[in-house]
Structure 1
Amino acid sequence: MRIVDVCAFYAPRGGGVKTYVERKLQAGAAAGHEIIIVAPSDNAQVMEAQVTGGSAGGGRIVMMPARRFPFDRRYCYFDDEASLHTMLDRLQPDMVEASSPWTSAAMVARWPGAAPRALIMHADPLSAYAYRWFGSMLSRQAIDRGFDWYWRHLRRMDDSFDMIVSACDSLSERLTAGRLANVVTLPMGVEPGHFTPARRNEDLRARLLARCGLGPDATLLLGVGRHAPEKRWPMVIEAATSAGYRNPLGLVLVGDGRDRARVRRAAANNPHIQLLAPTSDRARLAELLASADALVHGGEAETFCMAVSEARASGLPVIVPDEGGASDQLQPGSGFLYRATQADSLAETIAHFIATGPARHRAHATALAPTVITMDDHFARLFHAYEQIVDGRRHAA
């Protein structure tokens, strides 16, 4: 098959979506499919995928001229529907994906081509914005009523797409409750070959704790992700500071983003919290994850949460909110839940984790690490679903 992914969230310096896209190119080539990523950019260029194997000869990333996204300058957004339709006509896909529920999905829905199409829910705007902004004042039912225009938009997309792909059960349940009929849950998985408990480095752990002004007997928590409001890093910092009054505790946050100033202010008065720049070195990230005592995450708006998946594959216990994609990944023995958005609940959960033995919890998490699904597992299921849709269309024709 020739699969064209209209990927509004791809950027060369992006995060989880970039990792997902680049692995898709590898998996598609290995399965004999041609993957073409169509992404918005501030300049037109075509990048051939650097993959090995696969009868289709790999794939490519086609960057189309577009405008910069005003709130995150790493990204652009599709703003020329006619040009996008012309590109799809030229590429003649067997299957089309849209990877954002916003304008680009509507553009793909209106494309007059005959190819079947799927919408990948890489984002959950209601959780990331509406529920976060208004959740302290209104129930989710009331917020959903106020944002009924968005639900009507999603139902129109559901009518136009053959499949709506969700990476976690909680999002799938909300979409189905919102009267979408074509929802399929396909967890994304972790990039294979990098994340394993075998990468644990006690010397690295001791150095990170020393940066936090603590000895090796302290507990080392790690947070990984963009500095964005929906990640709630200031809340995580507040909770770690509170828990640290009772136990020697260091927190290392790996990331950057538009909310960096607020994150830095939150951490400024606590020497036991250190901020590290994001890294594209997968081996270094894998070593960081395997060498901590637990991963802590603040965002309840995740559609999957790659950081939690990578931590679990590294044998790291996870401490995550009880809403969103991060919580859906939790298995008995792999970590702890706290009440989403509540710093006091997170502080209590961190204290409980320390009191009940981080080494014991890490041993449980290490035993479960091999059960974490990989991205290749995800893509095998995704491509199989696409083949069934394409074959069904051909037979019907």
Structure 2
Amino acid sequence: MRIVDVNEFYSPTGGGVRTYCDRKMAILAEMGHELIVVAPGSEDRVEERAGGGSIVYVRSPRMPFDANYGLFWDEAAIHAVLDRYDPDVIENCSPWRAAWFVLDWRGRAIRSFFMHNDNMEAYPKRWLGRVASPERIEHAFAWYDRYTDRFLRRYDTVVTNGPATTARMLARGVRVDATMTLGIERRYFSPTLRNEALRVALLDQCGLPPSAHLLLGIGRHHAEKRWPLVIDAVLRAGATLPVGLVILGQGLDTKSLERHIGDSPHIRLFRPVYDRERLAEIMASVDAFIHGNDTETFGLVGYEALACGAPLIVPDAGGMAALAGQAYAETYRGGDGRDCADAILRFFARDPTKVRNAAIDAAAKVRSDVDHATLLVDHYAQVIAAKGCQSDASVQRERR
């Protein structure tokens, strides 16, 4: 099976979608399938992957508020890529022009809309949440769900990345055909990677002794990640307990976050860590993973942290909330910095050995990305069979 993912959310500088796509590409190649990601780029180029698959960058304008991402604008260029690869399946996750480009291509492939995000939660509800109730916001932006329905009804299947997304979509009357819960690359992430010397070194970077508490946050510096909320919560909790925070990431808001931190020595911003083994060692060595985004649909990085045995301090809404077991996590009201600070204090008032052991037990149950890819391919095969659109060329590829 050849899958072409027309993906506006794939960025060469990182992010959860890139992590997901790169890993899925390798898994599908091992399974005898092929994934080609079509992504916006600053120039037209193809990046072949040694294990199989490729990234096809199509020259596209940058996003006005985040230059790490782009917007597809040239329909002919997208159609030319699809003509070249003649896929069995086209995936798309963007609700804008790309959604229609995929539908208007005249090839034989089935069309799959893969929901990686929820724009209603990420934008209107976040922007207007202080002045209007969620119900009023949804009523005011019901036009967006009607717009979404217009293109989704033409897709052959609509899948989500997990139960949180499915629940939100169905509650708003948006079509969902299958829930394909994501998984992580289990081989890198393990509680056995805990390194006390690394923990002490990170606390030292925060100007704190080994007896202090160490929190880790990971994600790009963007408003939807709510890093100012997390920073304020750590500063508030730090007035009572010695708490250090390390944030791995970069982005449009880096300078403003540096100003927000001010002269506090206990909160440090570090660049993203792309080496998976090093990242997993850091995750396994902290006292807890903390997260601010209550609108994202899954939260892959939280699953990776838990797989390393890191307990969690996360919002009570969004993809992370589904992960937060009571034995190893504390939750707080999404968007509420004071409650986040209280959650930090509650967390460190608990027995650290019991909490850590509970997180280690939960680590073994985190789903693998191989399981996810297997189920997704099986789903696509069923849709193809039902539609009867598998070509002779596809059959020959699978036989090889």
Question: TM-score, normalised to structure 2's length?
Answer: 0.94
Once residues 186 and 127 of structure 2 are traced to their aligned partners in structure 1, the CA distance between those partners, rounded to angstroms, is 36
Asked whether the 8 Å contact 1:176–1:183 carries over to 2, the reply is no
What does 1:215-294 align with in structure 2 at a 5 Å threshold? 215-294=209-288
Asked whether the 8 Å contact 1:168–1:328 carries over to 2, the reply is no
- Is the partner of 1:160 in helix, strand or coil? coil
Which segments of 5 or more consecutive residues in structure 2 lack a partner in the other structure? Answer: 392-400
Once residues 80 and 370 of structure 1 are traced to their aligned partners in structure 2, the CA distance between those partners, rounded to angstroms, is 45
Provide the residue aligned with 1:194 in structure 2: 188
Indicate yes or no: 2:338 matched with 1:350: no
The residue identity in structure 1 corresponding to 2:245 is L
> CA offsets, 1:27-55, max 9 Å, x none?
1111111211111212111222221xxxx
Provide closer, same or farther for how the CA distance between residues 109 and 331 of structure 1 changes in structure 2, counting only shifts above 3 A: farther
Asked whether the 8 Å contact 1:293–1:359 carries over to 2, the reply is no
What displacement does 1:144 show? Answer: 1.5
What does 1:1-397 align with in structure 2 at a 5 Å threshold? 1-51=1-51, 58-394=52-388
Asked whether the 8 Å contact 1:166–1:172 carries over to 2, the reply is yes
- Is the partner of 1:241 in helix, strand or coil? helix
What displacement does 1:11 show? Answer: 2.2
Provide closer, same or farther for how the CA distance between residues 247 and 155 of structure 1 changes in structure 2, counting only shifts above 3 A: same
Asked whether the 8 Å contact 2:165–2:298 carries over to 1, the reply is no
Asked whether the 8 Å contact 2:108–2:389 carries over to 1, the reply is no
Identity percentage over the alignment?
Answer: 42
- Is the partner of 2:113 in helix, strand or coil? strand
What displacement does 1:113 show? Answer: 2.7
The residue identity in structure 2 corresponding to 1:145 is H
Matched residues, number = 391
The residue identity in structure 2 corresponding to 1:10 is Y
Provide the residue aligned with 1:54 in structure 2: none
Once residues 89 and 105 of structure 2 are traced to their aligned partners in structure 1, the CA distance between those partners, rounded to angstroms, is 13
What displacement does 1:202 show? Answer: 0.2
Once residues 332 and 239 of structure 1 are traced to their aligned partners in structure 2, the CA distance between those partners, rounded to angstroms, is 20
What displacement does 1:74 show? Answer: 1.9
Asked whether the 8 Å contact 2:169–2:176 carries over to 1, the reply is no
Moved more, 239-248 or 101-110: 101-110
- Is the partner of 2:14 in helix, strand or coil? coil
Once residues 25 and 157 of structure 1 are traced to their aligned partners in structure 2, the CA distance between those partners, rounded to angstroms, is 26
What displacement does 1:68 show? Answer: 1.9
Once residues 273 and 253 of structure 1 are traced to their aligned partners in structure 2, the CA distance between those partners, rounded to angstroms, is 8
> CA offsets, 1:38-97, max 9 Å, x none?
11212111222221xxxxxx2222111212222221222210112212322332111110
Once residues 182 and 252 of structure 1 are traced to their aligned partners in structure 2, the CA distance between those partners, rounded to angstroms, is 37
What displacement does 1:395 show? Answer: 7.9
Question: TM-score, normalised to structure 1's length?
Answer: 0.95
Moved more, 292-301 or 92-101: 92-101
The residue identity in structure 2 corresponding to 1:34 is E
**CA RMSD between the two structures:** 1.6
Provide the residue aligned with 2:397 in structure 1: none
What displacement does 1:181 show? Answer: 3.0
Provide the residue aligned with 1:55 in structure 2: none
What displacement does 1:379 show? Answer: 0.8
The residue identity in structure 1 corresponding to 2:78 is L
Asked whether the 8 Å contact 1:40–1:64 carries over to 2, the reply is yes
Moved more, 371-380 or 70-79: 70-79
Moved more, 163-172 or 277-286: 163-172
The residue identity in structure 2 corresponding to 1:196 is S
Once residues 360 and 390 of structure 2 are traced to their aligned partners in structure 1, the CA distance between those partners, rounded to angstroms, is 48
Asked whether the 8 Å contact 1:319–1:335 carries over to 2, the reply is yes
